[in-house]
Structure 1
Amino acid sequence: MEPVRPFVLGVYTPADMARVDTLSAATIPVSVLMENAGRAVARAIRRHVRPLRTLVLCGPGNNGGDGYVAARLLSDAGWPVAVAEMAPPAPNTASSAPARLYTGPRVPFAVAEVARAELVVDALFGAGLSRDVEGAAADMLRAAARLVAVDIPSGVDGATGQVRGYAPQAELTVTFHRFKPGHLLYPARGLMGRLILADIGIPDRLVEQVPFTAWRNEPGLWRLPVPGAESHKYSRGVVSICAGGSMPGAARLCASGARAAGAGLVRVAAGGAARDYRLGPAGVIVDDAPLATLLEDARRHVWVCGPGLAPDEVAQTLPVLLAAGRCVLADAGALSAAADRPEQLRGVAVVTPHVGEFTRVFGPVGANPPERVREAARLIDAVVVLKGATTLIAAPDGRLAINTHATPALGTAGSGDTLSGVIAALLATGMPTWDAACAGVWLHGEAGIKAAAQTGGWPLAEDLDRYLGPARHDATGSRG
């Protein structure tokens, strides 16, 4: 895999893209960008389906302007096309010229017209939606049997991925220049169908002038360290795991994930339960000494606290680790112990909650998950990894990575313990905290994809370890 430049991975809110459009308008006529956008939509439709009886629903704004261009170009290509206007563009606006240039049939904005169409093109509202979609517009969209969306399905909030009123299911969505959060976040992500990002001619030098703080999580956003000829187990990093007495499987999965992700040495601090853990993999060192004694070894800087731990075990370990200044990844039991008390997590480096754990610690995710995860990261001054179908990785300084590189096959018990081990292994190499969390989430997702392909779609958490090495190879490309 050839890593891409981080800049190309930028995810822009609708407000960010509006600023880009304003800058672009000073050097590139809006009519040119609108023509390019409509052409991209028409091209994608022609590649997606054979000529069909097509109805283009046009709103009065720029999204509608893109629709008029697409309608004209499809008509020029011999497609049977008609336009239904929700409202005509205001005179002398950007979309008024494309509306004039379209000379094909226009039909009433009525459900009966949608019912006659074999394909509906939704060019009503773009990603900058500011109100709920309801009434006649919702009825029209609801009646479409097959639908292609221009920019984003109408009714989707491009900043949050939430549905406002009604949003249709698209089989194809064509957006422009950069993805918005709404393209990548559920529930909206499930409405996109095939998602195409089209270049419409906005120069990168203009986009670079608009600051952004969100990225798609892919190689190129981060770089994995590659061991050199003189590397050894300590230079590759030591991962230590606090083990509990009642659920040894969680710590074992975490240890296996850390080893498979490249940790040079993995040690399990099991205390009085050490005998139970010594039945595990031969490559894992099991310690029975008191935690204070283990912390005398400065090489043991990275610790995982939480998988398989009961509340009393968390109370005996997490405060000690934090007082010793260790780099701590807190998960599972450590999050349960901090329910309604997020201040107990201040001092950790990374937390990895699923939605239920996040809600118990920080409160509901709500209607704007990106901002809620950023708020949580600022509150505890740590990287927060909100695990899910789309995983969000937020840093205290506001940086946010949006990870869609995963599979439903990861929804199996123990998968999160493996992820904790993977991220810890990368922290142990000295990777910056946010980078290590982002890279660990991607590697975990790639291992899940590979494992699902080899197991008929139903891997166990134990299966993921075998594919973390190939995942690292893919992420480092020719350097690995």
Structure 2
Amino acid sequence: MTELLTAAQMRAIEAAAIASGEVTGLELMKRAGRGVVEAIFEEWPELRATSHRAVVLCGPGNNGGDGFVVARLLKEWGWEVEVFLYGDPEKMPPDARVNYERWRGMGEVVAFNDKATAHLVEREPPSLVVDAFFGTGLTRDIGRIVRETSEALWMHVSIHRGRIVAIDIPSGICADSGKDLGRALPATLTVSFHKKKLGHLIGEGPVHSFRTVIADIGLPDRSERGRVSLTNADETFLRKSRQPQHHKYSHGHALIVSGTSGRGGAARLAARGALRIGAGVVTVGCPLDAIPEHAARLDAVMLRGVADGLGLEETLEDGRINALCVGPGLGLDARGREVVAVVLESRGRPRPTVGRGLPRRSVVLDADALTILSQNPDLFAALHGACVLTPHAGEFARLFPDIAEKLAAPATKGPAYSKVDATREAAKRAGCVVLFKGPDTVIADPTGRCAINSAHYDRAAPWLATAGSGDVLAGFITGLLARGFSPFDAACTGAWLHVECALSFGPGLIAEDLPEELPKVFRVLGV
């Protein structure tokens, strides 16, 4: 998986490279500025051809130093460049101060103050605005002057279809949480370095940049424990075994527990998702009066009468069932509570060994099951390491109200409490994997291992906001659990494939389309 960094981790990597003598801070700043200019020309090739006007907004730190390098390179390219500095040049870090002085040998530096707003918005908008105010080092509100000018400048430039390029991250966005620390300046393009930061993919970070790219500045790739990763799919594990002695039960048996008649659609969506993703056998367990409804809509999925908790206990005597999905369309009545209780109590029961490598029963708890957990502390306490919780924001708030309150609190300084922090804390408290849904889905386990499934930028899939898509995701994860994936890997892979199916289908998607798109996605992956 691709690793993501916090601001502190990025600083540590840079500091280690400088301390080892591999590179100087001044050279890193030069590479960063060059990477920004190269990214600009790659994004907008038409800007290479003729001279243009650029406004470069520099801050008092090293991000401002990168801005002075960009200004110098554009000037050398033949552009007309105006440079503004927010802060005292005497207090700039040494490397940034060197690049400030180098620019002073080529052009003027205008103080960024109250007069700057009028100066910037009363003129014809430039072809390019470079935001080099604060970058990833911001730990406070951006300040009134920057905030007011940023708003006016964004309106002025966007009306004329101008371009705003942020260095590292849009100024005002906390690099660790994606939270807005004071009306951040949106960017048409963000150019960051070495690796993406958490704030590029969670919170409001993706909303403030239409596109984010990474420039290589020659830093070594040092992996460390505790970092957050981007989800992807491991094609090796997705492939079904071709061994001739294997059969359907070798790939797991998933049980989807459904609610009463008239509430079965969610369970059918989950069942179809589990079957398509590769579970060998899928059964829907439902009250007897719901069997005709399911039978009219399902063929390859088996049906079993599960009237109550006792009926589920009897069903689970079949040791071949190794993964369960509970919650979609379950209902909040006494039967629903019984079902959740039985599922959570069944984990330790002995069962015959069927197929090599299959785990003990794993459980996905979604939708109504999450509400039941939030209302019954004794059931919440019964959660275990083979469980996966899949809450959206409302369900998360019911399950973890204090954590949700911290997450919702307005950020005034950074690093701010993030969705990554919240999901990790929730997973540790629940003792199981938590998949906190959204365009910035975060998955964490009790050890602190964490991944982000981002549906932003080139993976934006707004049509996933449709009824039933979460039920299909629960089915995907259940099917992967049945096949032998660990809870964390099943959640990560299921979430990634969920977005890939939406991207493959495109606009007009409804939940029923998601499982049917999986074969196409698998072919593209070579599975």
TM range (shorter): over 0.9
Question: What is the number of equivalent residue pairs in this alignment?
Answer: 463
Q: Which residue of 2 aligns with 1:397?
A: 447
Aligned: 1:450 with 2:507: no
| AA at the equivalent of 2:57 | L
Deviation (angstroms), 1:271: 3.4
**Distance in 2 between residues matched to 1:223 and 1:34, nearest whole Å:** 41
Deviation (angstroms), 1:427: 0.6
Does the 8 Å CA contact 2:34/2:73 hold for their aligned counterparts? yes
**Secondary structure of the structure 1 residue equivalent to 2:135:** coil
Q: Which residue of 1 aligns with 2:323?
A: 302
Deviation (angstroms), 1:215: 0.6
Q: Which residue of 2 aligns with 1:101?
A: 102
1:188-240 superposed Cα distances (whole Å, 9 cap, x missing partner)? 21111221111001012xx23x4442011123599434332323211111110
Does the 8 Å CA contact 1:57/1:83 hold for their aligned counterparts? yes
Q: Which residue of 2 aligns with 1:3?
A: none
**Secondary structure of the structure 2 residue equivalent to 1:114:** helix
Q: Which residue of 2 aligns with 1:177?
A: 194
Does the 8 Å CA contact 1:342/1:361 hold for their aligned counterparts? no
1:83-104 superposed Cα distances (whole Å, 9 cap, x missing partner)? 1111225366121111111122
Aligned: 1:167 with 2:184: yes
State which of 286, 290, 296 in structure 2 corresponds to 1:279: 296
RMSD over aligned CA atoms reads 1.8
Q: From the superposition, tell whether residues 222 and 378 of structure 1 become closer, same or farther in structure 2 (CA, over 3 Å).
A: farther
Q: Which residue of 1 aligns with 2:487?
A: 433
Does the 8 Å CA contact 1:61/1:89 hold for their aligned counterparts? no
Q: From the superposition, tell whether residues 219 and 327 of structure 1 become closer, same or farther in structure 2 (CA, over 3 Å).
A: closer
**Distance in 2 between residues matched to 1:473 and 1:434, nearest whole Å:** 24
Q: Which residue of 1 aligns with 2:369?
A: 334
**Distance in 2 between residues matched to 1:55 and 1:399, nearest whole Å:** 42
Q: Which residue of 1 aligns with 2:353?
A: none
State which of 24, 30, 48 in structure 1 corresponds to 2:17: 24
Q: From the superposition, tell whether residues 443 and 343 of structure 1 become closer, same or farther in structure 2 (CA, over 3 Å).
A: farther
Q: Which residue of 1 aligns with 2:227?
A: 213
Runs (4 or more) in structure 1 with deviation over 4 Å come to 220-223, 340-343
Aligned: 1:12 with 2:12: no
Aligned: 1:368 with 2:418: yes
**Secondary structure of the structure 2 residue equivalent to 1:229:** coil
Q: From the superposition, tell whether residues 342 and 71 of structure 1 become closer, same or farther in structure 2 (CA, over 3 Å).
A: farther
Aligned: 1:317 with 2:339: yes
Q: From the superposition, tell whether residues 282 and 220 of structure 1 become closer, same or farther in structure 2 (CA, over 3 Å).
A: closer
State which of 155, 173, 181 in structure 2 corresponds to 1:156: 173
Q: Which residue of 2 aligns with 1:259?
A: 275
Does the 8 Å CA contact 1:225/1:429 hold for their aligned counterparts? no
| AA at the equivalent of 2:287 | G
**Secondary structure of the structure 2 residue equivalent to 1:82:** strand
Does the 8 Å CA contact 2:134/2:172 hold for their aligned counterparts? yes
Aligned: 1:130 with 2:123: no
Structure 2 stretches of 5 or more lacking a match? Answer: 158-162, 348-360, 409-416
State which of 345, 350, 360 in structure 1 corresponds to 2:388: 350
| AA at the equivalent of 1:327 | S
**Distance in 1 between residues matched to 2:65 and 2:281, nearest whole Å:** 59
Does the 8 Å CA contact 2:362/2:487 hold for their aligned counterparts? no
| AA at the equivalent of 1:350 | V
Identical-pair percentage: 39
**Distance in 2 between residues matched to 1:337 and 1:70, nearest whole Å:** 56
Q: From the superposition, tell whether residues 473 and 306 of structure 1 become closer, same or farther in structure 2 (CA, over 3 Å).
A: same
Deviation (angstroms), 1:187: 1.5
Does the 8 Å CA contact 1:213/1:398 hold for their aligned counterparts? no
Q: Which residue of 1 aligns with 2:354?
A: none
Q: From the superposition, tell whether residues 92 and 138 of structure 1 become closer, same or farther in structure 2 (CA, over 3 Å).
A: closer
| AA at the equivalent of 2:486 | P
**Distance in 1 between residues matched to 2:206 and 2:319, nearest whole Å:** 45
State which of 509, 520, 523 in structure 2 corresponds to 1:459: 509
